[in-house]
Structure 1
Amino acid sequence: MALFNRLNLRAKSLVNTGFGSSASSYGGRFINKDGSVNAVKKGVGALDRISWYHTMLDMSSWKFLSILLLFYVTINFVFALLYFAIGIEHLNGIATTDNEWVQFGQAYFFSAQTFTTVGYGHISPTGFYTSALSSAEALIGLLSFAIATGLFFGRFSKPSIFLKFSKNAVIAPFNDGKALMFRLAPYKNTNYIDAEVNVTLGMRIEENGVMTNKFYTLDLEYQRINSLALSWTLVHPITSESPLWELVSSDYDSILGEIIVIIKTFDDMFSTTVATRTSYTFEEVVYGAKFKPMYTRSDNNKSTILDLGLLNSFDKVLMD
């Protein structure tokens, strides 16, 4: 209750955040560090709950390629088992041997050639069942490669935002006072213009004996910039209008709060608006620190060097 009394009640709380006000219904943070919503959906089946297309587009490259490779190996293994079950004698051209592993290996590579429609020709199916199975495998192979090609195109053509956020936010000196700061920077050779940020503060506080979620808009020194070419430090001046006005250093260690950041910008390569989000819990806010500069002029004074390795670097400072 003492913390509630120190909050700046003149700051108007929001009711349209989409997160709800009942703190007892929430577990953990509102937004994960990677920008995903920290919610698990239940009440419907897994196939209805997950969009496999979106999942395949959003997963990391190594997972995507691993799934394709696993699918390719597995489906050829299954078809090789079926050919082997029908009878290896129905695959004309397989070398005669008493070693069943060698025969299975040849059936496996025949399956791979049929699945990819390569068909080198030294092995061919004979008999109705083997011919029908190889025809079905060729069709499945064509459809599978069409789907894989579509997924590859979707991954390469999907507009993505390539921004990194600082790991921590800081409370730093600012204009004879203090301010909440965090920063971001583009990390690939992309061109972003008309970048705009919305920052919302969410806190779980006890009000009239009940734990309640309170949300506030945090006004920024600059909420929009024309070009996002270098690092951008977002600054929320902690003035008498800020909900953080009377909070002291110890409060940031005890508050169950979260700073939700949503940024959208225009990618002139794709001619479309892209967006991302992240959040900082109060445990990730460093009181009494300031960020180190990230960019400087080159040795020949003809370009600017942006050091992305300094994105999370800060110095501790003394504060009242």
Structure 2
Amino acid sequence: MSVLKNRGKKNSNKQTGFGTNASNYGGRFINKDGSANVKKIGLPFFERISWYHTMLNISGFKFITIIFVFYLLVNFAFACIYTLIGVQYLQGIKPNSFIEDFGQAFFFSTQTFTTVGYGHISPVGFLASFTASVEALFGLLTFAIATGLFYGRFSKPKAHIMFSENAVIAPFQGVKALMLRITPHKNTSLIDAEAKVNLGMTVKENGVEVNKFFNLDIEYDKINTLTLSWTIVHPITEDSPLYGFTEDDFKKNEGEIIVFIKAFDEMYSNTVAIKSSYMFSEVIYGAKFVQMFDDEDDTVTVLDLSKLNAYQKINF
């Protein structure tokens, strides 16, 4: 990040966990999806990866694909073992061409792995029987793990909250204000929602560039229920580190606005949290958000999620 003026000292936050050495930090602090913009090295790959966390956090399509590919590979491996032992030791298979023999061994493997066991093919001899028993045990353990992962993915508390793509600078009660918007996008019930906003930037102290973080005061840091959209407002007063910033300042300088949201989900009966960030390049100067909700025949309030990122330019 480039050097900005050292403002808002009394709001400085030294407990962010991001570190202060600006020369050793690259890019943004928090990615748009809320993950930390950090790449870890120095240990073997398998020691740096938690497979449980990975399997819980990847997309549903990737999760199902991994399960399916693993299923095929395991059965392919056991089919190779049965073929090497000899399909004549699988009673019910009449040896024919290699392709047919391997195909029959593969489907016997799937029946053993899933413990279905249709019965028209059965192992004969020690090696075939031992392999089948090992595969059956491996299948039981594998499906137990897969079941746990499925349960973990469905039961894990998750904040179904969306952030606007951009923040805006708009007039607010006689001053300028930084505004961003969030909204729940699922049929969840969130109460006691809290917001915290920090500003990260690089300043010069004693001729050395350091990362500084500032707490940004917001109009409301807590609301009772989050059912519609919530526009989080930081009035840019004289106490704000953004005080005096012009449109050119946002274009020429680099900074990052980090947003933390926490709420209580009544369905999970648990606290959920989510975070995101906005670079200065993602702040629209002289704009206001378009209202997302309206009434329908005076009977129900309609929340239009497609308008989350909608804004209109204004002059001030």
Same fold (TM over 0.5): yes
Distance in 2, Cα, partners of 1:8 & 1:29? 20
The amino acid that maps onto 1:109 is F
- In the alignment, what sits opposite 2:225? 227
- In the alignment, what sits opposite 1:290? 288
Distance in 1, Cα, partners of 2:310 & 2:160? 20
1:145 to 143, 146, 156: 143
Matched, 1:36 2:35: yes
Deviations 1:182-230 (A, max 9, x none): 0000000100000001100001234443222111000000110000000
How far is the alpha carbon of 1:304 from its aligned partner? Answer: 0.2
- In the alignment, what sits opposite 1:242? 240
- In the alignment, what sits opposite 1:47? 46
Aligned length: 315
- In the alignment, what sits opposite 2:13? 14
Among the aligned pairs, what percent are the same residue? 56
The amino acid that maps onto 1:125 is P
How far is the alpha carbon of 1:16 from its aligned partner? Answer: 1.5
1:202, 1:258 within 8 Å by CA — same for their partners in 2? yes
1:190, 1:269 within 8 Å by CA — same for their partners in 2? yes
Distance in 2, Cα, partners of 1:302 & 1:281? 40
Return closer, same or farther for 1:9/1:231 CA change in 2, 3 Å cut-off. closer
Structure 2: tracts of 5 or more residues without a match: none
1:267, 1:274 within 8 Å by CA — same for their partners in 2? yes
How far is the alpha carbon of 1:9 from its aligned partner? Answer: 4.3
Distance in 1, Cα, partners of 2:260 & 2:81? 52
Distance in 2, Cα, partners of 1:239 & 1:286? 19
Return closer, same or farther for 1:182/1:93 CA change in 2, 3 Å cut-off. same
How far is the alpha carbon of 1:247 from its aligned partner? Answer: 1.0
Give the TM-score taking structure 2 as reference length. 0.97
- In the alignment, what sits opposite 2:132? 134
Deviations 1:216-258 (A, max 9, x none): 0000001100000000000000011111011111110122210
Moved more, 117-126 or 205-214: 205-214
Q: Aligned-residue CA RMSD in angstroms?
A: 1.4
Distance in 1, Cα, partners of 2:310 & 2:127? 67
Return closer, same or farther for 1:66/1:3 CA change in 2, 3 Å cut-off. closer
- In the alignment, what sits opposite 1:311? 308
Matches within 5 A, 1:211-226: 211-226=209-224
Distance in 1, Cα, partners of 2:282 & 2:9? 26
Please state whether the residue corresponding to 1:246 is helix, strand or coil: coil
1:170, 1:182 within 8 Å by CA — same for their partners in 2? yes
Distance in 1, Cα, partners of 2:213 & 2:3? 15
Matches within 5 A, 1:180-195: 180-195=178-193
Please state whether the residue corresponding to 2:247 is helix, strand or coil: coil
Give the TM-score taking structure 1 as reference length. 0.95
1:118 to 109, 116, 119: 116
- In the alignment, what sits opposite 2:81? 82
Please state whether the residue corresponding to 1:213 is helix, strand or coil: strand
2:165, 2:309 within 8 Å by CA — same for their partners in 1? yes
The amino acid that maps onto 1:294 is M
Distance in 2, Cα, partners of 1:10 & 1:141? 60
- In the alignment, what sits opposite 1:301? 298
